[in-house]
């Protein structure tokens, strides 16, 4: 596995999604190429070049790798590997239970607004390297949720699959924004707005930026968020870097902070001499490749007439007002290469994908409200969950609290209330047809 990536190549890396996002959405009446973006769960995108496939395989090996204290793990962490949480039904999938839920901290500011609980990082890190070989000198205790502190709240988040994330990264802002707001064909009260993030990759545009400069603030143009339960993260590279830091504890120039209790600096015996750990993204770059080149999950058996009729029910009750069937990637999606070049990835360019999501955030009512606003998303607002790969899931909603799809539907409120009520009014046969359709995704 390659271990050295120079500064100049990384600067090329940092602008990759800026290039992708700049291409406007294609006209809907253009010829649509065959959708060659799906494969069995955990498989690479069809159409990768041999070099791209090699990068995917190396990234997968790192995704499955158990990091050690000597490699930057900790000093506090949630898991030793990415696959420890993203494993069902294959590497890159979600957690079929709720055992790997991530607990987000929040702290009250005034009467209503909550902000990230920054004392020790925004999520609970419930393990310490003192339990591992090579880390016994570090005596930091694992993070404890400070429920006894006034004004502190928690929000559990379920581990999502990352299948097809490169395709979502390659969708233009313009395509997502065409679905925003009230539309004549949407049910009453359904709007949907884009959450916006700041591109971490914009740092690469700054000539003064140094890999060892320790910048902690992302700088760059706004871009529509598309990753995370509240669509709070705009780019796949950022989505790779951030959890690598806050869940595994591996620092990088973009997240150089060690998240420790009370926000204090870790003791000397808990720190590696070379900080940050992942100096030139020799680890985060392969992890980005794995997720960028991971195929969308293929459909299950489409057995007529139940599945066909169920899709008609899906549309009739307004599920597709938010769970938009089709998106399209930009004409030219560029990815960085370890040699410093930036190359067009044909497997991610000009492709039709069917995530069944508009990637917008919607007010889902009080039953799904939490205490963790993120960007434009209030506690009641959540990104429309992509339904591709639904047949592989066993827990639903942002916290995994629903054990069946019907359970998830029945707690829809706010903008989802009309569809929820329409579902309740279906006949038993129509509900079975809808279930057959959803089970095919």
Q: What is the pLDDT of residues 258-301, one digit of tens each?
A: 888 766 778 889 887 666 687 777 888 899 999 999 999 999 99
Q: How confident is the model at residue 19 (pLDDT cuts 50, 70, 90)?
A: very low
Q: What does the pLDDT read at residue 200?
A: 60
| Number of helices followed by number of strands (H, E) in the chain | 11, 15
For residue 148, the model assigns a pLDDT of 59
Q: According to the model, what pLDDT value does residue 433 have?
A: 98
What tokens appear for 171 in the block? 């969708």
Lowest average pLDDT, out of 7-11, 115-119, 226-230, 354-358, goes to 7-11
Biggest CA–CA distance in the chain, Å, is 66
Q: Give the orientation angle of helix 306-316 with respect to helix 428-439, to 10 degrees.
A: 100
Rounded to whole angstroms, how far apart are CA atoms 160 and 392? 11
Q: Give the percent of the chain with pLDDT over 90.
A: 62
DSSP bridge partners of 88: 94
User: What pLDDT does residue 6 have?
Assistant: 32
- pLDDT at residue 275 in the model: 64
Note the pLDDT of residue 284: 86
Evaluate if residue 82 carries a pLDDT over 80: yes
Pairing, β 196-198 against β 222-224: antiparallel
Please state, in angstroms and as integers, the Cα–Cα distance from residue 30 to each residue in 26, 47, 162, 291, following that order: 7, 22, 29, 29
Would you give the distance in Å from CA 9 to the centre of its chain?
25
Radius of gyration of the chain (CA): 21
Pairwise CA distance, residues 310 & 36, whole Å: 24
**pLDDT mean across residues, the chain:** 84
Q: Could you tell me which residues are beta bridge partners of residue 362?
A: 382
Average of pLDDT values for 126-138? 92
Q: Strand pairing of 152-157 and 102-109?
A: antiparallel
Q: Span 333-353, mean pLDDT? A: 87
**Residue 154, beta-bridge partner list:** 105
237 pLDDT band, cuts 50/70/90, is: confident
Name the pLDDT band for 36 (thresholds 50, 70, 90): low
Q: What is the pLDDT of residue 202?
A: 45
Residue spans of beta strands (DSSP E) within 40-190? 76-77, 102-109, 113-116, 127-128, 152-157
Of 388 and 5, the structure prediction assigns the larger pLDDT to 388
Using CA atoms, how far apart are residues 292 and 288, in angstroms rounded to an integer?
6
How many residues in the chain? 441
pTM: 0.88
101-119 in b/e burial notation, b at 16+ Cβ within 10 A? bbbbbbbeeeeeebeebeb
pLDDT band at 371 (very low <50, low <70, confident <90, very high): confident
């Amino acid at each position: 596995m390659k271990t050295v990536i120079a500064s100049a190549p990384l600067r090329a890396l940092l602008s990759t999604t800026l290039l992708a996002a700049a291409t406007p959405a294609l006209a809907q009446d253009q010829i649509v190429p065959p959708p060659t973006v799906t494969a069995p769960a955990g498989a690479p995108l069809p159409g990768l070049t041999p070099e791209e496939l090699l990068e995917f395989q190396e990234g997968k090996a790192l995704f499955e790798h158990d990091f050690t204290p000597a490699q930057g793990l900790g000093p506090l962490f949630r898991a030793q590997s990415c696959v420890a949480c993203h494993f069902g039904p294959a590497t890159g999938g979600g957690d079929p239970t709720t055992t790997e839920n991530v607990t987000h901290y929040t702290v009250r500011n005034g009467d209503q607004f909550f902000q990230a609980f920054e004392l020790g990082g925004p999520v609970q890190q419930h393990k310490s390297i003192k339990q591992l070989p090579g880390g016994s000198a570090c005596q930091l205790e694992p993070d404890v949720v400070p429920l006894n502190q006034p004004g502190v709240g928690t929000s559990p988040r379920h581990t999502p699959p990352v299948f097809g994330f490169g395709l979502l990264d390659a969708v233009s802002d313009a395509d997502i924004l065409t679905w925003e707001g009230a539309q004549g064909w949407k049910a009453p009260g359904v709007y949907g707005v884009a959450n916006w993030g700041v591109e971490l990759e914009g740092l690469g545009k700054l000539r003064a930026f140094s890999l060892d400069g320790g910048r902690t603030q992302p700088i760059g143009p706004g871009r529509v968020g598309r990753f995370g339960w509240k669509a709070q993260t705009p780019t796949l590279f950022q989505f790779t870097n951030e959890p690598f830091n806050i869940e595994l504890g591996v620092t990088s120039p973009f997240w150089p902070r060690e998240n420790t209790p009370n926000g204090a600096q870790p003791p000397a015996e808990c720190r590696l001499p070379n900080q940050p750990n992942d100096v030139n993204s020799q680890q985060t770059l392969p992890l980005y490749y794995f997720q960028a080149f991971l195929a969308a999950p293929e459909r299950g058996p489409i057995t007529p007439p139940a599945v066909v009729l169920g899709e008609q029910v899906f549309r009739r009750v307004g599920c597709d007002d938010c769970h938009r069937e089709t998106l399209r990637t930009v004409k030219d999606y560029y990815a960085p290469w370890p040699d410093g070049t930036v190359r067009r990835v044909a497997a991610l360019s000009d492709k039709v994908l069917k995530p069944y999501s508009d990637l917008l955030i919607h007010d889902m009512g009080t039953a799904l409200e939490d205490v963790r606003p993120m960007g434009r998303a209030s506690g009641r607002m959540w990104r429309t969950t992509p339904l591709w790969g639904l047949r592989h899931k066993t827990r639903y909603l942002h916290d995994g609290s629903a054990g069946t799809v019907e359970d998830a539907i029945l707690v829809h409120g706010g903008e989802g209330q009309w569809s929820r009520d329409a579902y309740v009014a279906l006949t038993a046969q129509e509900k079975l047809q809808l279930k057959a359709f959803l089970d095919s995704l």
